[in-house]
Amino acid sequence: MAPENQASHPKEHWHKLRLLLRNPISLAGVALALVSLGNIFLFSLVGLIAERPSPYIGILAYMAAPVFLISGLLLIALGAWRERRKKAGEAPLYPRIDLNDPGQRSAVISFGAFVVMFVMLSGAGSYKAYEFTDSVQFCGQTCHTVMKPEFTAYQLSPHARVGCVECHVGSGATWYVKSKLSGTRQVFAAMFNTFPRPIPTPVHNLRPAQETCEECHWPKKFYGAQLKVFTHYGSDEKNTPRQIRMLIKTGGGDPATGAPSGIHWHMNISNEIDYVAADEKRQVISYIHVKDMQGQVTDYYAQDSTLTKDQIAKAPRHRMDCVDCHNRPTHIYIPPDQAVDQALLAHRLDVSLPYIKQQAVAALTGKYDTTEAAVQAIAHDIDGYYESKYPEVAKNKQLEIRNAIDEVQQIFRRTTFPEMRLNWQTHPNNLGHFYFNGCFRCHDGQHVSPEGKAVSKECNICHTLMGQEEGGVSMAAVPKLSFQHPVDLGDLTQVNCSDCHNGGVGP
Ligand code: HEC
Ligand code: HEC
Ligand code: HEC
Ligand code: HEC
Ligand code: HEC
Ligand code: HEC
């Protein structure tokens, strides 16, 4: 056989290729690629089989290993290329492809098939990677310390089964890219430990609620009112229960089923509200702009505003949407006062323990540097209290006291995160007006239009009192039910509840 015919024999061709690859760089590349491929396979398998795979499995399988695989392939090519250059004197620098030559043809076909397979597999891989970076695991569990508060609160919330991305990203490519860009920054911040503690609120690049919340909640379909029962326990020896029953006028916003009314009157459907806030957390509102269904415009200015009209005109405006009231739909950091009330109501704390409400709240609101320190202090404080003040109770109710300590420690773990410097005060809840100013940020009677109209603080525009009891005795004033404050405060529209009820130790 003539030499050129020999070269075209497929076997000969592979031999030449092998020679090209027989260099340290390519060999290292082959090893790297094979190991990564094996890892991708293994990790994907573990991810599929394991009941609750670790979040890191996904990072390894769909992000780290593919990077190594591609690096390996690049190394193989680099080695072969250098080898060829070394032999450049003997052979031409680039291969001459002749498809009429059966050997070369089969090599080109094999190579083509490999490329197609690789592209298809990496397509599937990228989709998996995309899916993975959108998973609750990736968002909530990968950076434990950073996301622990948000993730813990989320798991206990009504939205525990709604993925992080349903609210934080929504559908569509632009928001995906936007969120991944800011996400990448966050990953670096987490790696280099430069993230803020706590992670600040509000979230500035949150997608408008129309495209997230309203994908599931259909604002036009809300109507009517809902009965809510609020149960509190006093800070006295008997932990006196106090109950308030109220019809919350949730209302709705569909002009077809009646005039938009009630609380959900604000929802963008027929009325538009924009506002300017004087602070970062949007707790101090300087200016409100309303355009109602008829197109009538009203401007309200805060009488005690720290901003001048000029500054207000230049300041960025926020269009009010669901998140201005429901800013804690899922990351709900319940104030100690409320958490202890809930535990007493659910009999997880024994109401017969004297002053347990007061002691539990006091223990929860202490200043602690770590969760561990807090958990120990809670046990020490509550035990110590009963031993010194109620030695009889300490002897007879050992089990109840033990359980109370357990429960208070649990509450702390669920609601307060010293490592991230986060508690209920750093992330106010704007729904209502009891522990935080919430609705009273605007509904304080102090936001007045040039015509003299004020945003109302009348106690019955948002709810109707249905009953009020203290220690089982009715105390709401009849015939026209109005809320009776346990301590006489005079005209309630002149006070801000959250000035005294701050969620911590009782007023
Ligand atoms: C039901 C919708 C919803 C879901 C589901 C959700 N979030 Fe949020 N998240 C919000 C809203 C609303 C805010 C507050 C926005 C604001 O005040 O501007 C927020 C705020 C945050 C913040 C900023 C700090 C804070 O507490 O305000 C982080 C971090 C965060 N979310 C992470 C997550 C993670 C991680 C998940 C999944 C485990 C998740 N979120 C799931 C709606 C959601
Ligand atoms: C993927 C769907 C989905 C998205 C997106 C979503 N929710 Fe929900 N939401 C639900 C479901 C389901 C429930 C009912 C949970 C239950 O009753 O157990 C719920 C419950 C609620 C409740 C009642 C909570 C309670 O205490 O009973 C409020 C308020 C709420 N969502 C507000 C919001 C807001 C605000 C957003 C946007 C930031 C939002 N939701 C986004 C599905 C969603
Ligand atoms: C002006 C503040 C405000 C705005 C804006 C607002 N809500 Fe509400 N929403 C409330 C209040 C207050 C309640 C009653 C909650 C309570 O007392 O627990 C409520 C109740 C709800 C509930 C529970 C209703 C039920 O009958 O169980 C859902 C779901 C809800 N809102 C979703 C939304 C969505 C989605 C948007 C945006 C389109 C929105 N809300 C806008 C204040 C608001
Ligand atoms: C950003 C400012 C702002 C916040 C925050 C706010 N509101 Fe309003 N609200 C307004 C304005 C402005 C009006 C319209 C007043 C007018 O022009 O009559 C209004 C009107 C209302 C009305 C009367 C609707 C009707 O039938 O006429 C209700 C009820 C209401 N708000 C409930 C609430 C509740 C509950 C909250 C807290 C969860 C809240 N608002 C928070 C600005 C606000
Ligand atoms: C702008 C609307 C609005 C106005 C005005 C308003 N409230 Fe409320 N109030 C609410 C909402 C919304 C809730 C329910 C919050 C929740 O579900 O946690 C609430 C809850 C309450 C509660 C129960 C709080 C708790 O946690 O036990 C009391 C008591 C109360 N309001 C009294 C008053 C009194 C007194 C006034 C008059 C000074 C008043 N409210 C004015 C919206 C309003
Ligand atoms: C000047 C301080 C102050 C202000 C302002 C104030 N309260 Fe109170 N509030 C108290 C005191 C003191 C108690 C009694 C606490 C106790 O006995 O444990 C109390 C008790 C209550 C209770 C019984 C539940 C509990 O925690 O003991 C409710 C409900 C309540 N207040 C609602 C309101 C509402 C609604 C507002 C706003 C309209 C308001 N308060 C404003 C001081 C205040």
CA 291 – CA 383 distance, rounded (Å): 58
Residue 342 has pLDDT above 50, yes or no: yes
CB 334 within 8 A of CB 424: yes
Residue 228 CA: which ligand 3 atom is closest? 17
Handedness of CA 75, 77, 79, 82 (dihedral sign): negative
d(CA 173, CA 36): 30
Which backbone phi and psi does 257 adopt, to 5 degrees?
Answer: -100, 20
Residue 333, pLDDT > 60, answer: yes
Domains of the chain, residue spans: 3-133, 142-195, 226-329+429-500, 336-420
Measured in angstroms, how far is the CA atom of residue 387 from the centroid of ligand 3? 46
pLDDT at 4: 44
Q: Is the CB of 228 under 6 A from ligand 5?
A: yes
Do residues 256 and 269 touch, judged by C-beta distance below 8 A?
Answer: no
What digits encode the pLDDT tens for the residues 384-432? 999 999 999 999 999 999 999 999 999 999 999 999 999 999 999 999 9
* Interval between CA 201 and ligand 4 midpoint (Å): 22
Which tens digits make up the pLDDT trace of 444-474?
999 999 999 999 999 988 999 999 999 888 8
Nearest CA to ligand 6 atom 17: 234
Q: Are 265 and 251 contacting, i.e. CB atoms less than 8 angstroms apart?
A: yes
Q: How far is the CA of 437 from the centre of ligand 4 (A)?
A: 13
**Mean pLDDT across the chain:** 86
